[in-house]
């Protein structure tokens, strides 16, 4: 264990005061969650972690949560590591055989909004290889912040897992890095320069912007995910970037490899989404836009890695359609795709079809089985296709 340096920075509105280091404080063998609980009544606290490894029991020690204006700041993700050492045990599920799961989050505001919270410059080891020796069905995550002005910067999350069991025995979705809102709008939310890798299986959405979908929360999220790296295993139910309940969001300059879906939006409404300059290497789908969503998708490169892959999917499901998208200057390449692979696919299930989607100047690899696949001729009148023959791409027949 290392020293933890505590610095109180008074805040007025959004203007930070100068602040001074009031200790340093020596906590000996205390866990980080002990420190958070000791400071539970304070606001605008900054905890600076010197290089070294620290231990936390995360939310297994309630109420070890991050509060309004707090920050946990490491000395760099290669120099400061926080390791999770415990988890919350779920009520056993009747068998046969009986099942028991558990979960934990290293740093979180829990089920409440707390504004201007920051976690940065460290690595979080969710420690699934060790904790799973006690109970294998665990959901272990790194950071979950709800509220406006929150930032997750330069954070690595390793050894997370989405193996927590539900009542029917299936895996509950796990979110290694999440920023969003629990109630009402959350604005100016930033996830920047973060990485998720060494995921240990299960149902995972690696980096997410998410709003609580349950009424009457009225939750929405606006902000940006930028310059993040996600390396997954190519297994089913491993997703890269995920959005739900977002408005005015930018997703740019990220790299996602080995995800079932590299970028997807959940069934909640997503408004004014800009996805640009990303690299996606997909085991199933590069970009999957579902239900009520709209925005721009441009200058992304998508490599398809498996049989039955699709580059870009616009799909309507439920009462509202996926509509009002501009999809331009994207490249969909075939690396290992075969057996009914697709460049662009559109469709719907029991809902209005996608409409007002404009595809302009996208490069689609001609070796794919289907350059464009639409469900029924209705799309012909709802979409615009433009393009010219490209030069310098011998196996790419034209722009779509």
HEC-encoded secondary structure of the chain: CCCEEEEECCEECCEECCCEECCCECCCCCCHHHHHHHCCCCCCEEEEECCEEEEECHHHCCCCCCCCCCEEECCCCCCEEEEECCCEECCCECCCCCECEEEEEEEECCCCCCCCCEEEEEEEECCHHHHCCCCCEEEEEEEEEECCCCEEEEEEEECCEECCECCCCCECCECCEEEEECCCEEEEEEEECCEEECCCCECEEEEEEEECCCCCCCCEEEEEEECCEEECCCCCCEEEEEEECEEEEEEECCEEEEEEEEEEECCCCEEEEEEECCEEEEEEEEEEEECCEEEEEECCEEEECCCCCEEEEEEEECCCCCEEEEEECCEEEECCCCCCCEEEEEEEECCCCCEEEEEECCEECCCCCEEEEECCCHHHHHEEEECCCCCCCCCCCCEC
228 part of a folded domain: yes
pTM score over 0.85: yes
- pLDDT exceeds cutoff 70 at 399: no
End-to-end CA distance of the chain: 57
18 part of a folded domain: no
Number of residues that make up the chain: 400
Mean pLDDT of 169-189: 95
Q: Of the ranges 34-48, 341-355, 364-378, which is most confident? A: 34-48
Residues 229 and 262 sit within 8 Å (Cβ to Cβ) = no
143 part of a folded domain: yes
Prior bond of 199 cis (ω within 30°): no
For residue 212, what are the β-bridge partners? Answer: none
Task: Give 97-117 pLDDT, tens digit per residue.
Answer: 788 899 999 999 988 999 999
**Choice between 23 and 254, residue whose per-residue pLDDT is larger:** 254
Joined together, the tokens standing for residue 385 give 């296709």
pLDDT tier for residue 387 given thresholds of 50, 70 and 90:
very low
Mean pLDDT of 318-322: 75
* Alpha-carbon distances of 165 from 77, 159, 202, 215, 366, rounded to whole Å: 31, 18, 10, 25, 42
Joined together, the tokens standing for residue 40 give 């539970």
Percentage of residues of the chain with pLDDT beyond 70: 84
Q: Which residues constitute the domain of residue 154?
A: 97-277
319 part of a folded domain: no
Residues 242 and 230 sit within 8 Å (Cβ to Cβ) = no
Predicted pLDDT of residue 340:
75
pLDDT tier for residue 10 given thresholds of 50, 70 and 90:
very low
Number of domains in the chain: 1
Predicted pLDDT of residue 384:
47
pLDDT tier for residue 44 given thresholds of 50, 70 and 90:
confident
- pLDDT exceeds cutoff 90 at 87: yes
* Alpha-carbon distances of 224 from 180, 202, 242, rounded to whole Å: 11, 26, 12
- pLDDT exceeds cutoff 80 at 200: yes
pLDDT tier for residue 30 given thresholds of 50, 70 and 90:
low
Pairing mode, strands 255-265 and 229-231: parallel
pLDDT tier for residue 12 given thresholds of 50, 70 and 90:
very low
- pLDDT exceeds cutoff 90 at 296: yes
217 part of a folded domain: yes
Predicted pLDDT of residue 394:
46
Percentage of residues of the chain with pLDDT beyond 90: 52
**Choice between 223 and 366, residue whose per-residue pLDDT is larger:** 223
In terms of Cβ atoms closer than 10 Å to its own Cβ (0-12, 13-18, 19+), residue 337 is buried
Q: What is the mean pLDDT of the chain?
A: 84
148 part of a folded domain: yes
259 part of a folded domain: yes
321 part of a folded domain: no
By mean pLDDT, which of 119-123, 317-321, 376-380 is the weakest?
Answer: 376-380
Number of C-beta neighbours around residue 17 at 10 A: 11
Cα 88 → chain centroid: 23
Predicted pLDDT of residue 352:
76
Task: Give 131-140 pLDDT, tens digit per residue.
Answer: 999 999 999 9
Q: What are phi and psi of 60, to 5 degrees?
A: -65, -20
CA-to-CA distance for 145 and 108, rounded, in angstroms?
5
CA-to-CA distance for 312 and 290, rounded, in angstroms?
11
Predicted pLDDT of residue 235:
87
Residues 147 and 184 sit within 8 Å (Cβ to Cβ) = no
| CA atoms 10, 221, 237, 365: torsion sign | negative
């Amino acid at each position: 264990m290392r020293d933890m340096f505590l610095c109180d920075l008074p805040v007025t509105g959004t203007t930070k005061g100068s602040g001074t280091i009031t200790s340093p404080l020596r906590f000996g063998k205390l866990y980080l969650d002990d420190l958070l609980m000791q400071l539970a009544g304070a606001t605008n606290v900054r905890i600076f972690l010197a290089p070294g490894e620290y231990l936390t029991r995360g939310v297994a020690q309630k109420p070890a949560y991050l509060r309004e204006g707090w920050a946990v700041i490491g000395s760099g993700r290669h120099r400061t590591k926080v390791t999770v050492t415990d988890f919350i045990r779920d009520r056993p599920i009747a068998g046969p055989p009986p099942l028991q799961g558990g979960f934990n989050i290293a740093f979180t505001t829990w089920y409440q909004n707390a504004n201007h919270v920051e976690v940065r410059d460290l690595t979080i080891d969710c420690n699934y290889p060790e904790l799973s020796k006690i109970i294998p069905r665990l959901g272990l995550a790194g950071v979950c912040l709800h509220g406006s002005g929150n930032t997750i910067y330069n954070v690595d999350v390793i050894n997370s897992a989405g193996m927590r069991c539900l009542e029917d025995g299936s895996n509950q979705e796990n979110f290694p890095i999440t920023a969003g809102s629990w109630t009402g709008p959350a604005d100016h939310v930033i996830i920047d320069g973060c990485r998720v890798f060494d995921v240990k299986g299960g149902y995972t959405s690696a980096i997410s912007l998410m709003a609580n979908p349950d009424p009457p929360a009225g939750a929405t999220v606006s902000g940006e995910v930028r310059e993040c790296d996600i390396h997954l295993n190519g297994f089913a139910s491993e997703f890269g970037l995920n959005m739900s309940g977002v408005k005015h969001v930018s997703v740019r300059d990220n790299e996602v490899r080995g995800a079932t879906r590299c970028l997807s939006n959940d069934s909640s409404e997503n408004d004014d989404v800009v996805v640009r300059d990303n690299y996606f290497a997909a085991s199933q789908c590069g970009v999957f836009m579902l239900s009520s969503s709209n925005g721009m998708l441009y200058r992304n490169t998508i490599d398809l890695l498996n049989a039955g892959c699709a580059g870009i999917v616009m799909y309507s499901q439920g009462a509202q359609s996926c509509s009002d998208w501009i999809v331009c200057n994207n490249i969909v390449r075939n690396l290992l795709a075969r057996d009914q692979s697709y460049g662009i696919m559109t469709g719907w299930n029991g809902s209005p079809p996608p409409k007002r989607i404009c595809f302009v100047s996208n490069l689609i690899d001609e070796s794919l089985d289907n350059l464009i696949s639409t469900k029924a001729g209705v799309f012909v009148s709802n979409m615009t296709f433009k393009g010219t023959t490209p030069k310098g791409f011998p196996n790419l027949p034209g722009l779509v």
